[in-house]
Amino acid sequence: MTADPYAAATASAASLARLTGQREHQAAVVLGSGWAPAANALGRADAEIPLSELGGFPEPGVAGHVPAVRSIGIGPLRVLVFLGRTHLYEGHPASAVVHGVRTAVAAGCGVIVLTNAAGGIRAGLRPGQPVLISDQLNLTGQSPVAGPPPPDGYPARFTDLSDLYAARLRSIARTADPGLAEGVYAALPGPHYETPAEIRMLRAAGADLVGMSTALEAIAARHLGAEVLGISLVTNIAAGLSDEPLDHAGVLAAGQRAATSMGALLAEILPQVR
């Protein structure tokens, strides 16, 4: 990453426009662990670009995350679909974790859809269930707008998160699927899973879901003025709330089983978000 992460995102967006042949994209989707097959349900890609060709993207090193982005026409929108993401626990700084989101906004995206695999904390949530994120607890100890202030021309770093997960977009999602649950997502740095005591703490703090991504990306997108929609796929019941052991292979398997239906849900939501 360059010393100026905003300049790096602008450069990546310019490479994206050149390689896809698209001057602008209107929305972006970041797919979570095991969600990559959902991209096929969104339609035929007009271009698929390795992230290594865009500059500024660290190579994803976690199973279930593909280092590529697709350009897809969905209804009236030109949509970027990131087939994976990088995480803090891989040793990357916050600026690298949010580089994809900043690139998407620089490419013209006014709507950012963030998906993830999550553990279910609230009673009644079940594996395979999609849940709209209504709010978040950023417990990573980091912020993408910390450090030097943004350059001239960018919003101040003191970002208002009152409507972090846009009510307008959540209303569109509920129209597409009236049965969608909503919940508060807690982001921890990982990569280890939480202890039962930590899950009890999170539940007492108001968390319904827990994971290791999304929160920093949401803050970065909102800082740049984009609307954010978050959807978690419950892939397991959180630690101490069931007798099932937790492992990444199980998370990926749950994500892959639900990927096609998640893609169909996104395909119904996305044409309405503009």
Question: What does residue 172 show for φ and ψ, rounded to 5 degrees?
Answer: -65, -45
CB-facing half-sphere around the CA of 255: CA atoms within 13 A: 26
Burial of residue 178, with CB atoms counted within 10 A of its CB: 0-12 exposed, 13-18 middle, 19 or more buried: exposed
Q: Please name the residues in contact with 74: beta carbons below 8 A apart, sequence gap of 6 or more.
A: 27, 42, 43, 267, 270, 271
CA of residue 26 relative to chain centroid, distance: 16
What is the length of the chain? 274
Residue identified by tokens 């994206």 is: 16
Catalytically active residues, by annotation: 33, 65, 87, 89-90, 117, 212-213, 236, 248
Q: Alpha helices of the chain — where are they, by DSSP H? A: 5-20, 38-41, 94-97, 99-106, 167-176, 196-204, 215-223, 248-269
DSSP β-ladder status, 27-30 and 77-82:
parallel
Q: Please name the residues in contact with 169: beta carbons below 8 A apart, sequence gap of 6 or more.
A: 111, 227, 228, 229, 269, 273
Q: 137 with 226: CB under 8 angstroms?
A: no
